Protein backbone atom coordinates (compact mmCIF):
# COMPACT_ATOMS: atom_id res chain seq x y z
CA UNK A 1 0.00 0.00 0.00
CA UNK A 2 1.35 3.43 -0.99
CA UNK A 3 1.05 5.54 2.20
CA UNK A 4 1.98 8.76 0.40
CA UNK A 5 -0.92 8.56 -2.08
CA UNK A 6 -2.99 11.74 -1.95
CA UNK A 7 -6.62 11.62 -0.89
CA UNK A 8 -9.12 11.25 -3.69
CA UNK A 9 -10.09 14.65 -5.09
CA UNK A 10 -13.79 15.28 -4.38
CA UNK A 11 -16.00 16.40 -7.24
CA UNK A 12 -16.91 20.09 -6.95
CA UNK A 13 -19.85 22.18 -8.10
CA UNK A 14 -20.24 25.91 -8.68
CA UNK A 15 -21.00 27.73 -5.44
CA UNK A 16 -22.27 31.31 -4.88
CA UNK A 17 -19.32 33.54 -3.98
CA UNK A 18 -21.52 35.43 -1.50
CA UNK A 19 -21.75 32.23 0.56
CA UNK A 20 -18.07 31.27 0.83
CA UNK A 21 -18.27 32.46 4.46
CA UNK A 22 -19.79 29.06 5.25
CA UNK A 23 -16.33 27.59 4.63
CA UNK A 24 -14.02 30.48 5.60
CA UNK A 25 -15.87 31.70 8.67
CA UNK A 26 -13.38 32.43 11.42
CA UNK A 27 -13.99 31.43 14.98
CA UNK A 28 -14.70 31.59 17.77
CA UNK A 29 -17.88 33.60 18.15
CA UNK A 30 -17.31 36.41 20.66
CA UNK A 31 -19.44 38.86 22.62
CA UNK A 32 -18.37 42.49 22.28
CA UNK A 33 -19.28 44.70 25.21
CA UNK A 34 -19.23 48.48 25.19
CA UNK A 35 -20.15 51.43 27.39
CA UNK A 36 -21.15 54.92 26.31
CA UNK A 37 -22.94 57.75 28.11
CA UNK A 38 -23.59 55.61 31.20
CA UNK A 39 -25.10 52.65 29.29
CA UNK A 40 -23.58 49.24 28.60
CA UNK A 41 -24.31 47.00 25.65
CA UNK A 42 -23.32 43.67 24.12
CA UNK A 43 -23.34 42.35 20.55
CA UNK A 44 -22.55 38.93 19.14
CA UNK A 45 -19.67 38.83 16.65
CA UNK A 46 -18.39 36.21 14.25
CA UNK A 47 -16.47 38.30 11.71
CA UNK A 48 -13.11 39.04 13.26
CA UNK A 49 -9.51 38.32 12.45
CA UNK A 50 -6.12 38.47 14.12
CA UNK A 51 -4.02 41.07 12.28
CA UNK A 52 -0.83 41.23 14.33
CA UNK A 53 0.54 39.57 17.45
CA UNK A 54 2.51 42.45 18.92
CA UNK A 55 0.97 44.93 19.17
CA UNK A 56 -1.98 42.59 19.60
CA UNK A 57 -4.27 43.72 16.77
CA UNK A 58 -7.71 42.36 15.97
CA UNK A 59 -9.77 43.50 12.98
CA UNK A 60 -13.53 43.09 12.91
CA UNK A 61 -16.71 44.13 11.17
CA UNK A 62 -19.31 46.00 13.24
CA UNK A 63 -22.29 46.80 11.05
CA UNK A 64 -23.30 50.45 11.20
CA UNK A 65 -26.87 49.15 11.65
CA UNK A 66 -25.91 47.86 15.10
CA UNK A 67 -26.38 50.02 18.19
CA UNK A 68 -22.88 48.96 19.25
CA UNK A 69 -21.38 50.69 16.20
CA UNK A 70 -22.05 54.22 17.47
CA UNK A 71 -21.11 53.36 21.05
CA UNK A 72 -17.75 51.84 20.09
CA UNK A 73 -16.95 54.47 17.48
CA UNK A 74 -17.67 57.30 19.93
CA UNK A 75 -15.63 55.84 22.78
CA UNK A 76 -12.96 53.97 20.81
CA UNK A 77 -13.21 51.14 23.33
CA UNK A 78 -14.75 47.72 23.79
CA UNK A 79 -14.15 44.34 25.41
CA UNK A 80 -14.02 41.17 23.31
CA UNK A 81 -15.40 38.37 25.52
CA UNK A 82 -15.06 34.66 24.75
CA UNK A 83 -18.18 32.60 25.56
CA UNK A 84 -18.18 28.82 25.71
CA UNK A 85 -20.98 26.54 24.52
CA UNK A 86 -22.61 26.97 27.97
CA UNK A 87 -23.69 30.41 26.69
CA UNK A 88 -24.92 29.29 23.26
CA UNK A 89 -28.51 30.51 23.60
CA UNK A 90 -27.34 33.76 25.17
CA UNK A 91 -24.99 34.30 22.21
CA UNK A 92 -27.92 33.93 19.81
CA UNK A 93 -30.30 36.00 21.92
CA UNK A 94 -27.80 38.83 22.23
CA UNK A 95 -27.44 38.83 18.45
CA UNK A 96 -31.20 38.93 17.96
CA UNK A 97 -31.98 42.16 19.82
CA UNK A 98 -30.73 45.72 19.88
CA UNK A 99 -29.19 47.45 22.86
CA UNK A 100 -31.19 50.50 21.79
CA UNK A 101 -34.25 48.67 23.12
CA UNK A 102 -33.04 46.67 26.13
CA UNK A 103 -30.27 46.34 28.72
CA UNK A 104 -28.74 43.05 27.61
CA UNK A 105 -26.78 42.49 30.84
CA UNK A 106 -30.06 42.58 32.80
CA UNK A 107 -32.15 40.78 30.17
CA UNK A 108 -29.78 37.82 29.89
CA UNK A 109 -28.58 37.64 33.50
CA UNK A 110 -24.95 38.52 32.78
CA UNK A 111 -22.55 40.07 35.27
CA UNK A 112 -20.65 43.22 34.34
CA UNK A 113 -17.10 43.22 35.68
CA UNK A 114 -14.74 46.17 35.88
CA UNK A 115 -12.05 46.43 33.23
CA UNK A 116 -8.60 47.85 33.96
CA UNK A 117 -7.97 50.09 30.95
CA UNK A 118 -11.38 50.69 29.35
CA UNK A 119 -14.81 51.80 30.56
CA UNK A 120 -16.53 48.94 28.71
CA UNK A 121 -17.50 46.10 31.10
CA UNK A 122 -16.10 42.59 31.17
CA UNK A 123 -18.69 39.79 30.92
CA UNK A 124 -17.86 37.75 34.01
CA UNK A 125 -19.52 34.52 32.74
CA UNK A 126 -17.20 34.36 29.70
CA UNK A 127 -14.04 32.24 29.65
CA UNK A 128 -11.83 35.19 28.64
CA UNK A 129 -12.08 38.96 28.34
CA UNK A 130 -9.87 41.10 26.10
CA UNK A 131 -9.87 44.83 26.74
CA UNK A 132 -9.56 46.71 23.44
CA UNK A 133 -8.80 50.23 22.26
CA UNK A 134 -9.42 51.44 18.73
CA UNK A 135 -6.03 51.35 16.98
CA UNK A 136 -6.91 52.44 13.44
CA UNK A 137 -10.19 53.87 12.12
CA UNK A 138 -9.10 54.10 8.48
CA UNK A 139 -11.45 51.37 7.25
CA UNK A 140 -14.55 52.18 9.30
CA UNK A 141 -16.25 54.54 6.87
CA UNK A 142 -15.85 52.28 3.86
CA UNK A 143 -16.08 48.80 5.38
CA UNK A 144 -17.35 49.15 8.98
CA UNK A 145 -13.99 47.55 9.77
CA UNK A 146 -12.52 48.38 13.17
CA UNK A 147 -8.90 47.64 14.04
CA UNK A 148 -8.45 47.22 17.79
CA UNK A 149 -5.42 46.74 19.98
CA UNK A 150 -5.91 44.31 22.85
CA UNK A 151 -4.43 46.19 25.80
CA UNK A 152 -5.30 43.73 28.58
CA UNK A 153 -6.30 40.05 28.59
CA UNK A 154 -8.07 38.12 31.37
CA UNK A 155 -8.21 34.35 30.82
CA UNK A 156 -9.50 31.49 32.98
CA UNK A 157 -6.69 28.91 33.23
CA UNK A 158 -9.13 25.96 33.13
CA UNK A 159 -10.32 24.38 30.96
CA UNK A 160 -7.25 24.89 28.82
CA UNK A 161 -9.23 24.31 25.62
CA UNK A 162 -12.75 25.56 26.25
CA UNK A 163 -15.56 24.40 24.02
CA UNK A 164 -16.19 27.44 21.82
CA UNK A 165 -18.71 28.25 19.12
CA UNK A 166 -17.77 28.83 15.50
CA UNK A 167 -20.39 30.44 13.31
CA UNK A 168 -20.96 29.05 9.81
CA UNK A 169 -23.87 31.39 8.98
CA UNK A 170 -27.58 30.66 8.57
CA UNK A 171 -28.02 29.69 12.22
CA UNK A 172 -25.38 26.93 12.09
CA UNK A 173 -22.61 26.70 14.67
CA UNK A 174 -19.66 24.30 14.76
CA UNK A 175 -18.23 22.98 18.01
CA UNK A 176 -15.06 20.99 17.72
CA UNK A 177 -16.38 19.44 14.53
CA UNK A 178 -19.97 19.08 15.76
CA UNK A 179 -22.87 21.28 14.72
CA UNK A 180 -25.71 23.06 16.54
CA UNK A 181 -28.61 24.33 14.46
CA UNK A 182 -30.16 27.46 15.99
CA UNK A 183 -31.95 28.54 12.85
CA UNK A 184 -35.37 28.34 14.53
CA UNK A 185 -34.30 31.01 17.04
CA UNK A 186 -33.22 33.55 14.44
CA UNK A 187 -35.28 36.55 13.47
CA UNK A 188 -36.48 36.65 9.84
CA UNK A 189 -33.83 37.77 7.40
CA UNK A 190 -30.93 37.04 9.69
CA UNK A 191 -28.25 34.89 8.05
C1 LIG B 1 -23.63 34.27 15.52
C2 LIG B 1 -23.73 35.73 15.19
C3 LIG B 1 -22.63 36.40 14.69
C4 LIG B 1 -22.72 37.76 14.39
N5 LIG B 1 -21.61 38.41 13.91
C6 LIG B 1 -21.67 39.75 13.67
C7 LIG B 1 -20.51 40.46 13.26
O8 LIG B 1 -19.40 39.92 13.15
N9 LIG B 1 -20.64 41.78 12.98
C10 LIG B 1 -21.84 42.45 13.11
O11 LIG B 1 -21.90 43.66 12.85
N12 LIG B 1 -22.95 41.80 13.54
C13 LIG B 1 -22.88 40.47 13.83
N14 LIG B 1 -23.99 39.81 14.29
C15 LIG B 1 -25.25 40.57 14.47
C16 LIG B 1 -25.28 41.37 15.78
O17 LIG B 1 -24.85 40.61 16.89
C18 LIG B 1 -26.74 41.81 16.01
O19 LIG B 1 -27.13 42.66 14.95
C20 LIG B 1 -26.96 42.46 17.35
O21 LIG B 1 -28.34 42.48 17.62
C22 LIG B 1 -26.41 43.86 17.44
O23 LIG B 1 -26.70 44.37 18.71
P24 LIG B 1 -26.71 45.95 19.00
O25 LIG B 1 -27.67 46.58 18.03
O26 LIG B 1 -27.16 46.06 20.43
O27 LIG B 1 -25.32 46.45 18.79
C28 LIG B 1 -23.94 38.45 14.59
C29 LIG B 1 -25.06 37.77 15.11
C30 LIG B 1 -24.96 36.42 15.40
C31 LIG B 1 -26.14 35.71 15.98
Q: What's residue 5's pLDDT? A: 59
Task: Name the nearest CA neighbour of 135 among 46, 81, 40, 60.
Answer: 60
Q: What's residue 35's pLDDT? A: 98
Whether residue 167 lies inside any domain: the answer is: yes
Q: What's residue 7's pLDDT? A: 75
Whether residue 5 lies inside any domain: the answer is: no
For the CA of 69, the closest atom of ligand 1 is: 27
Whether residue 152 lies inside any domain: the answer is: yes
Whether residue 1 lies inside any domain: the answer is: no
CATH number of residue 36's parent domain? 2.30.110.10
For the CA of 44, the closest atom of ligand 1 is: 17
Q: Which is more confidently placed, 69 or 3?
A: 69
Whether residue 141 lies inside any domain: the answer is: yes
Ligand 1 center–CA 105 separation, angstroms: 16
Backbone φ/ψ region at 10: left (φ over 0), alpha (ψ -120 to 50), beta: beta
For the CA of 186, the closest atom of ligand 1 is: 31
Whether residue 183 lies inside any domain: the answer is: no
Ligand 1 center–CA 3 separation, angstroms: 45
What's the number of domains the chain is made of?
1
Domain coverage including residue 37: 28-176
Ligand 1 center–CA 21 separation, angstroms: 15
Pairing label, strands 122-123, 39-45: unpaired
Q: What's residue 161's pLDDT? A: 84
Ligand 1 center–CA 67 separation, angstroms: 10
Whether residue 190 lies inside any domain: the answer is: no
Mean per-residue pLDDT, 97-106: 97
Q: What's residue 102's pLDDT? A: 97
Whether residue 6 lies inside any domain: the answer is: no
For residue 32, pLDDT over 90 is answered with yes
Mean per-residue pLDDT, 9-24: 84
Per-residue pLDDT reduced to its tens digit, 139-181: 999 999 999 999 999 999 998 888 999 998 889 999 955 567 8
For residue 70, pLDDT over 50 is answered with yes
Q: What's residue 97's pLDDT? A: 98
For the CA of 41, the closest atom of ligand 1 is: 26
For atom 4 of ligand 1, which residue has the closest CA?
Answer: 45
Give the Cα separation of 13 and 61 in Å (integer).
Answer: 29
Is any ligand 1 atom within 6 A of the Cβ of residue 83? no
Ligand 1 center–CA 44 separation, angstroms: 4
The model carries a pTM of: 0.90
Amino acid sequence: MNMSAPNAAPRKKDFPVSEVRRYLEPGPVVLVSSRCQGKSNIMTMGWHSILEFSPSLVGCVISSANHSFGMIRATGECVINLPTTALTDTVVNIGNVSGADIDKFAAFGLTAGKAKHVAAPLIAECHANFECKLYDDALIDEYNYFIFEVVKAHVAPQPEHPETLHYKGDGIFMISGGIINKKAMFRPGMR
